[in-house]
Amino acid sequence: MQDTALTSARRQRCAVLLVLAALLGFSGCAVWLQFERADLDWVRATLSLYLHGPYGVLLRAAYCLLAVAITLLAIGLHAQMRPGPGRRGLPVGLFGMAGLGLAVVAIGDSWLPGHAPLLAPLVHGLAAQTAFLCASVAMLVQAWCFGRDPRWRAQYAVAWGWAWLAFIALWLHVLWRGSPRGLGQKLVIALVVGWLFWVGWALWRRLHKGTAETDGSGHNGAHLHNRDISP
């Protein structure tokens, strides 16, 4: 039984490491393109414009990786929450919808502009807005859940404040039409991806600590058991 729990914990740690790698890969790709694509003004051009043209396929692949990473992270967080008021399925659903929106943006932009040029902007706009809105709301709900789980309460203040910062930045970007569109959008993306990475890192540390404690408790339990039955 204990070996099964250890194996499961190690698999979860590997999954979280893959999530962190995907978040770093997406961030690295997006930053690299800001320097590589001299044809676009990084202050004015939104990240979605980089989906087309040179290296666009790399960014579309990074979008898909990010979509999978968000979903896996949400599932991992839900699994590690203690049963009670802090364990809600809503963040999983919202993060899943955000991931789906990202995937639709990436996949739709790869072929819709050529096959359905009139439909492509509508699909892209709805999918992108869904991804942003669902991700920002999911961050707030997940942070709220942290505050109601004793094991995650230490992360509540930072997660809650960071999530609100991303939420306000998103609506400021949406409502302030005179702002630099590219810079504003990329700032929101950086806040969201940064929050996800920070929470993912906290999850990995918790799983790592739990595995180490389980290993140690198993040895200590065997030692105490042998001592108790000795004459």
What is the structure's pLDDT at 50?
96
Tell me, yes or no, whether 217 lies in a domain: no
What is the structure's pLDDT at 211?
60
Tell me, yes or no, whether 92 lies in a domain: yes
Tell me, yes or no, whether 61 lies in a domain: yes
What is the structure's pLDDT at 6?
61
H or E stretch at 184: helix 181-229
**Which CATH number characterizes residue 46's domain?**
1.20.1070
What is the structure's pLDDT at 3?
58
Q: What angle do CA 112, 21, 200 make, to 5 degrees?
A: 105
Tell me, yes or no, whether 219 lies in a domain: no
What is the structure's pLDDT at 145?
96
Domain count for the chain: 1
Spatial distance between the Cα atoms of 222 and 82, rounded to a whole number of angstroms? 27
DSSP state of 42: T
Give me the domain span that covers residue 38.
2-209
Q: Which phi-psi region, left, alpha or beta, contains residue 149 (left: φ > 0; alpha: ψ -120 to 50)?
A: beta
What is the structure's pLDDT at 4?
63
What is the structure's pLDDT at 113?
82
* pLDDT one digit per residue (tens) for the chain, 231 residues: 555 656 677 888 899 999 999 999 999 999 999 999 999 999 999 999 999 999 999 999 999 999 999 999 999 999 999 988 889 999 999 999 999 999 999 999 888 888 888 898 999 999 999 999 999 999 999 999 999 999 999 999 999 999 999 999 999 999 998 999 999 999 999 999 999 999 999 999 998 886 655 454 444 433 333 333 332
Report if pTM > 0.95: no
Phi, psi of 125, rounded to the nearest 5 degrees = -65, -45
Tell me, yes or no, whether 223 lies in a domain: no
Tell me, yes or no, whether 110 lies in a domain: yes
Tell me, yes or no, whether 224 lies in a domain: no
Tell me, yes or no, whether 225 lies in a domain: no
